[in-house]
Amino acid sequence: MNSGSRRKTIDTVLKVALAVLVFTLPLWIKNPTYMQILIFMLLYAYLTTSWNLVGGFAGVLPLGHSAYVGIGAYTSTILWITWGVSPWLGMWVGAFIAAVVGTIIGIPTLKLRGAYFALSTMAFGEGVRVLAENTVKVGPCVVGGPQGICLPLVPGNNLALFQFVSKTPYYYIILIMLCIALFITWHISRIRPGYYLAAGGEEPEAAEALGVNVSKYKVWAMALSCFMTALGGTFLAQLTLYFYPKQILGLDFSFELAFIALIGGRGTIAGPVIGALLLRPVSEFTRIYLSSVLPGLHLVIFGAILILVMIYQPFGLVRPLSRFYDRMLDALSGEKKKER
């Protein structure tokens, strides 16, 4: 077996071992706190992967994606509490509403450039939060106002109502959602609309000169991104069983998604996952041990990390980690490093 074949074999073995490790983690991690942290790491990786469709490949910087998380959470929860609709069905209704809203918002705002687009999305996100905080009830639908909504607790494990006593089912659900989101992102990056989207994000004038309808593909990415984000909102609601506007619709939520993507590697497949795996433990442990003394400290830490990454690794941590992985494969396979 030559070094090239050995390298491919070792690469496959390492990836399979990683997949086995990820899918068997709940078998040997029994602490509920650590399981909760793992679940939130996967959830933020999923939400950031959804954000990355428009915030990475489309070359814009949306800072109001918490609005779509909230749309998903509020829609599925209100449908369940008011009319008894299963959250498994309500999550798709919320995702559809979020996609429609994202399209309506995206058509005018995606024509803006730079900070103007970011500010417009921030304004929209804040508008949704203020609306939720000032709405207690709409007809038979209880919104909860600033106090939020507490989901009714059902006894035992109830798959139909998306509630479980153990954290393990939540872990596998969000893990499957993340795998699907990564596959969708990977597939889009390898088809013609994905090429058009990337071209429009990097050089919009050149892409338009070649006949690419940049606005069309950006709006399409925005709709898909909002659709997937809202699905994550329903998962978050079912996981915590309580949410309120400032928590689920606040700007700090949107900023955190952007930080994770920028630090991990915006516009890449693995970047959002790397960012979430590195930053979410920092956020969770900071909130557990220091939230009563220094609330919001995790965002300060994220900002400091972001500054360092932008100075030394402006394309995110995915590039140096990829180079390290390639060098490791070369060393294990005995393949000489080629000059590039």
pLDDT at 198 over 50: yes
Average pLDDT rounded to a whole number, residues 110-114: 84
More confident residue, 336 or 112: 112
What are the beta bridge partners of residue 158? 163
% of the chain surpassing 70 pLDDT: 95
SS3 13: helix
- Taking only the tens place, the pLDDT of each residue in 242-268 is 999 999 999 989 999 999 999 999 999
Return the half-sphere exposure (C-beta side, CA atoms, 13 A cut-off) of residue 200.
27
More confident residue, 132 or 334: 132
pLDDT at 200: 83
pLDDT at 158: 94
pLDDT at 340: 42
CA gyration radius, the chain: 21
Confidence label for 1 from pLDDT (cuts 50, 70 and 90) = low
pLDDT at 226: 97
| DSSP one-letter string for 50-112 | HHHHHHTTT------THHHHHHHHHHHHHHHHHH---HHHHHHHHHHHHHHHHHHHHHHHTTS
Confidence label for 337 from pLDDT (cuts 50, 70 and 90) = low
Question: Both tokens of residue 267?
Answer: 């516009």
Question: Both tokens of residue 233?
Answer: 């909102």
Phi-psi region of 78 (alpha: psi -120 to 50; beta: other; left: phi over 0): alpha
pLDDT at 171: 97
Domain extent listing, the chain: 7-332
7-332 is classed CATH 2.60.40: no
The mean pLDDT value of the chain amounts to 90
More confident residue, 108 or 3: 108
Average pLDDT rounded to a whole number, residues 95-124: 93
Confidence label for 292 from pLDDT (cuts 50, 70 and 90) = low
pLDDT at 3 over 80: no
Angle at 322 between CA 318 and CA 328, to 5 degrees: 150
What is the rounded CA–CA span in Å between residue 67 and residue 125?
Answer: 5
Confidence label for 84 from pLDDT (cuts 50, 70 and 90) = very high
DSSP class of residue 146 equals G
Average pLDDT rounded to a whole number, residues 36-42: 95
Question: Both tokens of residue 280?
Answer: 């979410």
Work out whether strand 137-138 and strand 141-142 pair parallel, antiparallel, or are unpaired.
antiparallel
Average pLDDT rounded to a whole number, residues 306-315: 88
Question: Which among 28-37, 75-84, 186-195 has the top mean pLDDT?
Answer: 75-84
Contact present, 210 and 26 (Cβ < 8 Å): no
More confident residue, 305 or 52: 52
Average pLDDT rounded to a whole number, residues 132-153: 93
User: What sign results for the dihedral spanned by CA atoms 291, 296, 297, 302?
Assistant: positive
Confidence label for 89 from pLDDT (cuts 50, 70 and 90) = very high
